Structure 1
Amino acid sequence: MKKSVTRKSLVMLLALTMLVTTALTGCGKKATNNTGNQTGNDTADGLVIDVSVGPEPETIDPTINTTVDGAAYINHAFEGLMKLDPEGNIVEGTAESYEVSEDGLVYTFKIRDNAKWSDGTPFTADAFVYAWQRLVDPATASQYNYIIDMVKNANEIMAGEMDKSELGIKALDEKTVEVTLAVATPYFLEICAFPATFPLREDIVSANPDTWIQDASTYIGNGPYILDTWDHQSMIVMKKNPNYYGVEKVGPDTINFHLMEDKNTILASFENGEILFGDDLPSEEIERMTDKGLYIQGQLGTYFLCLNVENEALKDANVRKALTLAIDRNYIVNSVTKGGQQPADTFVPTGLSDVETTTEFHEVSNKWYSVDPADYEANVKEAKKLLADAGYADGKGFPTVELMINPGHESIAEAVIYMWQQELGINATISSQDWAVFSDTRSSGDYQIARHGWLADYNDPISFLDMWVTGGGNNDAKYSNTEYDKLIKQVKASSDRKERIDLMHQAEDVLAKDMPIIPLYFYTDLYLKSDKLEGFYTSPLGFKFFSNVSVAE
């Protein structure tokens, strides 16, 4: 990253996304309107839109949430010091301005004079101090606590060595927040737009730590929308926040977020005109829906399988590598997912810059294996040898393993376990859990193999690599390697671009050697959007924004 170009880097990234989109969908614009009776009605209560961005969220607590769909709700109800605008720029949010010291270590943010909480209470700088201290507090157990580990004393607090009050953030007065970093961080302003760093009302959260998100009267935010009702497993309704400083520019008066997990249900609801937007659809319907509402955009993310390295059957790296090499990724993206995905040959995806910003990190990386279709036979041969070296020639003696998924991933799982059986003689079963349960089970490590996916939290390769440090909040593989930990620590202690990038390449090489994960493909973002919905925007990080939309007649 360029030292002071956080917003420019994201603009560059969005430009790349648009190039990918153009290649896949002709500039991402569909040719015809698929229905004539979709929602988006002007009622006595104003403009109401119906959309779906995912299933019942596990949580909508900014500090605790780890999912992209959960972030969609949070992004509408809260706002950080900075925010992402429709053009892809990181711009001032709750802060009207900011200054950075010459050494890049001290950021001073001025809060808008007209910033208020959604209940009309004046907004003060203390809200950020409380939220950030809560994020790193070991008692909170946030899986995203490391997102601000560049802040002074954050690592020591997370390790239990210092009190949370020592975190390098303070309110200089009611409208001024000062953040002191331990190391200059080129993407810090992007962190200030990330949901985990959003402000919180201490009086409300501390009084209702486990239930404040469940009740509209206590789910008090500072964003463009207010939680009106939450009918679990059915719908989250948000209303325009009259106390938002930019309320005059907010679009819909009401957003009905339909909670849907089944892709066929999402598609049917879109085609029936019940929703204007649906996040995802069945892969077998991609061809039919082309030019009928389907958009495909580039996305910074990797779909992979997570291997529980503490499981007896998966402790041997040779076994993990054999499972990896036996998978035909080209078959998966061409015959199963069919959404323009790219076979993954590393963990860090395409789209992130290397030392020279004109070169991609992925382009320079050592590839973990070949994804050339002509090399698949050689991959399988190597996989069989590795499995034999582990003591399981032709799969004999290897126990049946379980691949855990959530609904919508059956076809990928079926293809993978078929390849393992056909090529290696390994038997595997599939178990499916609803999203909220699945996410918790995977996080707790109560599984053998689980589907996983990771989207960048900001425009830097470390967003992918730091999740695998020992004891990391998102380290669902339970992976631990002291050499890897040391490399990541060095990356985070450096502000020298070349040094950081070189160290990250070394870290990815260590990850390849140990193979605690099996990359399958680099994501594209598939969604259904009506022609009538104007002003909608998304980001390569997966966030969907509806606060600026209007509905054409």
Structure 2
Amino acid sequence: MRLKKTAALLTAAALCTVLTAGCVTAVPEENTEGKNITVAISSDTGSMDPAGSIALTYLSYSVSALDELLTYNEDGEIEYRAAESYEVNEDSTVWTFHLREDALWSDGSPVTSADFLNTITRALDPASGSGYAVYLFPIENAEEIYNGEAEAGTLGVETPDDYTLIFRLEEPCVYFLDLLRLPVYTPSCAKYADSVESGWDRDPETSLSNGPFCLAEYVPDQYFVLNKNENYWDADEIKLDSITYRFFDDTQSMANAYEAGEVDVATSLSSAVMEAYEGAEDLLVTDQIATRYIYMNLNVEPLNDVRVREAINLAIDREELCRIVGSDTEPTYNLVAKYMKDKATGEYFVDGASRPFEEDVERARELLAEAGYPDGEGFPELTYNYPTLEMDSDTAQVIQEQLKKNLNIEIKLEAQELQANYSTRYSGEFDLCRMNWTADFSDPYTYLSMLLSNSTYNCSGIQDEVYDGVVEQSNSETDPMKRSELLHEAEQIAVGEQFYIIPLYAMKSVNLVNPDISGIRQVAASGALEYRYADVAENQ
């Protein structure tokens, strides 16, 4: 698809000041047949195996290529995909899903219950590196299997026939349907998906899809191409013939590529683009259901002292931080995303309770002195690891300057490639580490679960029985208002009493979209753009 310029686009002179030259990536051969779009996304990271170590690449791929059992649309209504119906027993511990008998893999073979079980069993092997394995733990014996304390055959998942999938839970889980959109609950073809290390997930011959599009080409660190899956059960509703995702190392390069007509959609751009394209029909600004924050490693002194953790939190001026970083950010004092809705009230969840803490530099200095570091004296130099992205670099410098000014402590900055930053965090080899979490499903548990003692995303050594108990209690509370109270209580413990993290800001997603593209939706859980039902004007 060729980009059609509009009168509202930036002038060449403005572009020179806003969009500087960036890294160049290989360009796939343009497909002039049919309806095709090209989407610019961030650098290639993580596995494309739903049972593996998931990062940005999988999230872009899966939203168009994989069908979950069911999901929720923007109106909060169930949208059946791989399943056509389900039933649950009276105490909500046995969930039975009936799969579509007309669902086929992209090679024409049937999608069966064994393919769903294949992902689950592989994800429960710690060697797979799945951070999402923790969300399988509501299933009978799943946690024990993950920890090597039970045999795989004891897992509470049954496949009585090819089109029936039964989950037996340890106890009621009120958000179980929300979990079904997570990678570990999506299928992987048992014929080919054998290991996260075999490379099946990036080979078009073996990386089969049960969704609207399937992998046609993958060039590491450059791009991947998805073609329409002609065997898809709902193929008549899919208008595009292909989607090409191109990787870029920085947002400036993405914006340049859009302006040059090399891509049709550029996502998660800088606030400078939002300001430069103000009023243009290309500009699409959406709320990200995400939080940018910092992990503190409790295994590192003096971060094992709650007074130090509180002091650092209270000493950061988030309003100033956001003014410097960009107008697409807003201060946040919570772990749960600022724009996540509370299903019980329909309002933003974070607005249902008082702010976990208030910034207070004088109190921060008092706390640091109580911890044995008056005016920062004797405080060890800590290292902050963060990705080499413009926003994160700006954030790091502001944090460094504020903590020096307000607490007289030294923070060493260490920028890393995005994949290296992920690896550093997962290994626990850090003092302070940048974290960004976009909601995987529409429930605060997607955030609060990451701080549980048994969480596969708990990278900072948190072991808090009180916090664990409150979160566990919320899992089976069926009264929505009482459950919200428990979730607020848990967040207050983690963020306002123990200060396990340093929340920084919420974000708007700044996107440029060719006006000739229609039908782009937002994923209700995360706010991300979804292209499976997109279309292109006939005159292209």
TM-score by length of 1: 0.86
Matched residue, 1:550: 535
- Aligned residue among 208, 218, 239 for 1:251: 239
What is the count of residue pairs matched by the alignment? 514
- Aligned residue among 174, 177, 192 for 2:162: 174
Q: Is the 8 A contact 1:40 1:49 kept in 2?
A: no
Q: Structure 1 residues 335 and 286, CA, compared in 2 at 3 Å: closer, same or farther?
A: farther
Q: Is the 8 A contact 1:345 1:367 kept in 2?
A: yes
Q: Structure 1 residues 385 and 35, CA, compared in 2 at 3 Å: closer, same or farther?
A: closer
Shift of 1:69: 4.6
Counterpart of 1:280 in 2: which secondary structure? strand
Paired residue type of 1:448: D
Counterparts of 1:543 and 1:65, CA distance in 2? 20
- Aligned residue among 499, 505, 509 for 1:525: 509
- Aligned residue among 372, 380, 396 for 1:413: 396
Counterparts of 1:388 and 1:187, CA distance in 2? 44
- Aligned residue among 271, 289, 292 for 1:303: 292
Higher mean displacement: 240-249 or 283-292: 283-292
Matched residue, 2:3: none
- Aligned residue among 289, 313, 335 for 1:324: 313
User: What is the correspondence of 1:80-99 to structure 2 with a 5 Å cutoff?
Assistant: 80-85=68-73, 89-99=77-87
Matched residue, 1:121: 109
Matched residue, 1:460: 443
Q: Is the 8 A contact 1:49 1:256 kept in 2?
A: yes
Matched residue, 2:325: 336
- Aligned: 1:34 with 2:9: yes
Paired residue type of 1:34: L
Shift of 1:208: 7.2
Counterpart of 2:226 in 1: which secondary structure? strand
Shift of 1:471: 3.9
Unaligned 5+ runs, structure 1 = 1-30, 371-375
- Aligned: 1:404 with 2:385: yes
Q: Is the 8 A contact 2:114 2:159 kept in 1?
A: yes
Q: Structure 1 residues 204 and 181, CA, compared in 2 at 3 Å: closer, same or farther?
A: same
Shift of 1:113: 1.9
Q: Structure 1 residues 120 and 135, CA, compared in 2 at 3 Å: closer, same or farther?
A: same
Q: Is the 8 A contact 1:355 1:498 kept in 2?
A: no
Matched residue, 1:24: none
Q: Is the 8 A contact 2:138 2:169 kept in 1?
A: yes
Matched residue, 2:20: none
Matched residue, 1:384: 365
- Aligned: 1:315 with 2:304: yes
Q: Structure 1 residues 176 and 290, CA, compared in 2 at 3 Å: closer, same or farther?
A: same
Q: Is the 8 A contact 1:105 1:184 kept in 2?
A: yes
Counterpart of 2:483 in 1: which secondary structure? helix
Shift of 1:40: 13
Q: Is the 8 A contact 1:40 1:47 kept in 2?
A: no
Q: Is the 8 A contact 2:271 2:510 kept in 1?
A: no
Higher mean displacement: 68-77 or 211-220: 68-77
Matched residue, 1:536: 520
Paired residue type of 1:230: Y
Q: Is the 8 A contact 1:40 1:551 kept in 2?
A: no
Shift of 1:369: 2.1
Counterpart of 1:202 in 2: which secondary structure? coil
Q: Structure 1 residues 240 and 146, CA, compared in 2 at 3 Å: closer, same or farther?
A: same
Matched residue, 1:104: 92
Paired residue type of 1:361: F
Paired residue type of 1:543: A
Matched residue, 1:15: none
Q: Structure 1 residues 33 and 210, CA, compared in 2 at 3 Å: closer, same or farther?
A: farther
Counterpart of 2:68 in 1: which secondary structure? coil
Counterparts of 2:419 and 2:78, CA distance in 1? 31
Q: Structure 1 residues 355 and 188, CA, compared in 2 at 3 Å: closer, same or farther?
A: closer
Shift of 1:105: 2.8
Q: Is the 8 A contact 1:133 1:165 kept in 2?
A: no
Q: Structure 1 residues 367 and 295, CA, compared in 2 at 3 Å: closer, same or farther?
A: same
Q: CA offsets, 1:40-78, max 9 Å, x none?
A: 999553222110232112211112243355212122222
Higher mean displacement: 260-269 or 143-152: 143-152
Shift of 1:535: 0.9
Counterparts of 1:112 and 1:282, CA distance in 2? 42
* CA RMSD, Structure 1 to Structure 2 (Å): 2.7
Q: CA offsets, 1:119-176, max 9 Å, x none?
A: 1112222111222222334453421112232223323333333222222221221222
Q: Is the 8 A contact 2:297 2:303 kept in 1?
A: yes
Paired residue type of 2:161: D
Counterparts of 1:363 and 1:167, CA distance in 2? 39
Matched residue, 1:27: none
- Aligned: 1:145 with 2:120: no
Paired residue type of 2:212: P
Counterpart of 1:117 in 2: which secondary structure? coil
Matched residue, 1:22: none
Matched residue, 2:22: none
